[in-house]
Amino acid sequence: MLQRKVKEDIHRKRMEKDLTELQTLIEAHFEKRKIEEEELLNLTDRIEKRRSERAEQMKIRAERDRERQNKLAEEKARKEEEEAKKKSDEDARKKLILSNLSFSGYKQTEPGTKRQTEREKKRKILNDRRKELNIDHLREDKLREKAKELWESLRQLEAEKFELQYKYTKQKYDEMGWKKVALATVTMELVNANVTLTGIIP
């Protein structure tokens, strides 16, 4: 009887020990699992945060790329507009130079062989000076040099024109002056002759 009771006590204590160890293992398992779940949750939060930050960075980068593309497009459009305006200005400048160099014939105002001959001489001089322009192949710097050269030629022609007009006007006034002097001389001679005749004839 006593042995049986001792055996039962030993068995009970062993069961209690096993139960205690099992509870300890279960608690340790759940504690470990809790820690792992917290770590997993933290890892998930970090991954989500990193994903959100990455998405924000990509959004910012995409916005910057879009702004850069817009700026490049605006810059390209501005350069094309400037080039078009520059080309238009150059074409207008060429037309102006060609227009200034295209002299028309002088309108005939008085008949006469001498005036016609002078007009033909002037036309021949202008034809000799007029040169055919070939500027399609020239670059901008060469066009500027050509325009400067044409401008200097135009200034020289204007100066020569002014000088010729001045000489013509001076000659015209000189001729008018001589005519007035001759007319005055003839008039004085006629007056003197009239006075003489009046004195002789009673």
Which two structure tokens, joined as six digits, stand for 186? 């003839």
Report DSSP letters for 70-108, one per residue. Answer: HHHHHHHHHHHHHHHHHHHHHHHHHHHHHHHH-PPPPPP
Amino acid 65: pLDDT: 92
> Do residues 101 and 130 make contact, with C-beta atoms less than 8 angstroms apart?
yes
What's the whole-model pTM score?
0.33
Q: What's the pLDDT tens digit per position in 119-150? A: 677 677 666 666 666 666 667 777 788 778 87
Domain residue ranges in the chain:
1-86
Q: What's the pLDDT tens digit per position in 88-105? A: 988 888 787 777 665 444
The C-alpha atoms of residue 44 and residue 39 are separated, in whole angstroms, by 8
Averaged over 1-20, what is the pLDDT? 79
Give the pLDDT band of residue 69 (cuts 50, 70, 90): very high
Which two structure tokens, joined as six digits, stand for 50? 């990193």
